[in-house]
Structure 1
């Protein structure tokens, strides 16, 4: 074979390889089957904003952060009147007295409430005319309790107990409502708001 023939044959062979190579790259090669991506185990519901406050389920009420005026007054009576009354336990009884040197029953009530910012008259009958009537089963610390046809009074401190200026020769002390003498002579109770200021009279 001549040299020219050999060169021509080699050229034709190279050309055929190029054509085969183009065809092989022009067709898509077989690939693995496409598997859909797995869904996440939990997805947030639509229309939910990040950071938005959770809604309260129906039928449930959110707690009211506002405290009623009556609750504030009740706390005021318990936190101001009761400690003042207990601090005077042991003070002597003195007829007509209304200071730590000696108290009678209404003078004791008048003095304690006066220290709490509420002016009261001196005298159980006059004190009984003030405030709001309270049933015995609804007594709250700081309420004024009355006995013996309005001849005696004291300050309720809770748990069925009250503080009072007892009698001549005795002192300010704690007693129980269910003691026989007080049980038989119970009259009623009055509740005074600690923010109110009543007119004061020093006569009996």
Structure 2
């Protein structure tokens, strides 16, 4: 088992593409459950606290600072403030982790949407708190209201939901 974990660790270093990473995991026969969320509870808490500090910042396309930020810019800023490197764009962020179901959601997981009848992912957020099975809140930057928290279990957000991932740590 230790050799397998060491081998997977080396593959993570060598593999730069998330799609290659997913194929490698399948090839090795490793389940999602065997791969730990590499972020500690303390790190996740710090990431969420960092994100919550941006509540109220207005929306700005391409923005990543207090003057304004878009949804993927918010994720990017939260992680860069804690010295983690993640992709900048939602479409790339959506590939930067292991897919999970809504039922597996944990604080710190990333969530993706296709809003306004889009056929592609165009919105992202981070799970900020889970109060109950139907109260799962995520932090995101809304085009109309800026950085805020919303409950996933509303008609609008569930209708726009595409996927959720547990992000890689690097």
TM-score of the two chains, using structure 2 as the length reference: 0.68
Counterpart among 163, 173, 197 of residue 148 in structure 2: 173
Structure 1 or 2: more helix by fraction? 2
Runs of 4+ in 1 over 4 A off after TM superposition: none
Residue deviations 1:51-88, cap 9 Å, x none? xxxxxxxxxxxxxxxxxx93672414431211111111
| Bigger Rg over Cα | 1
Matched, 1:158 2:100: no
Residue segments in structure 2 that go unaligned for 5+ positions in a row: 1-34, 115-119, 131-135
Matched, 1:182 2:157: yes
2:31 is aligned to: none
2:68 is aligned to: 102
Residue segments in structure 1 that go unaligned for 5+ positions in a row: 1-68, 198-204
Q: CA RMSD in A?
A: 2.0
TM-score of the two chains, using structure 1 as the length reference: 0.58
In structure 2, C-alpha distance between the alignment counterparts of 1:75 and 1:161, rounded to whole Å: 18
Say how many residue pairs are matched.
127
1:34 is aligned to: none
Q: CA deviation at 1:133?
A: 1.1
The 3-state SS of whatever aligns with 1:73 is coil
Residue deviations 1:147-183, cap 9 Å, x none? 113110011012200010000x421011000111111
Residue deviations 1:95-133, cap 9 Å, x none? 110112110011111111112222122211011111111
Could you tell me whether the CA contact under 8 Å between 2:87 and 2:96 is conserved in 1? no
Structure 1 or 2: more strand by fraction? 2
Q: CA deviation at 1:192?
A: 1.9
Counterpart among 14, 32, 41 of residue 75 in structure 1: 41
The 3-state SS of whatever aligns with 1:84 is helix
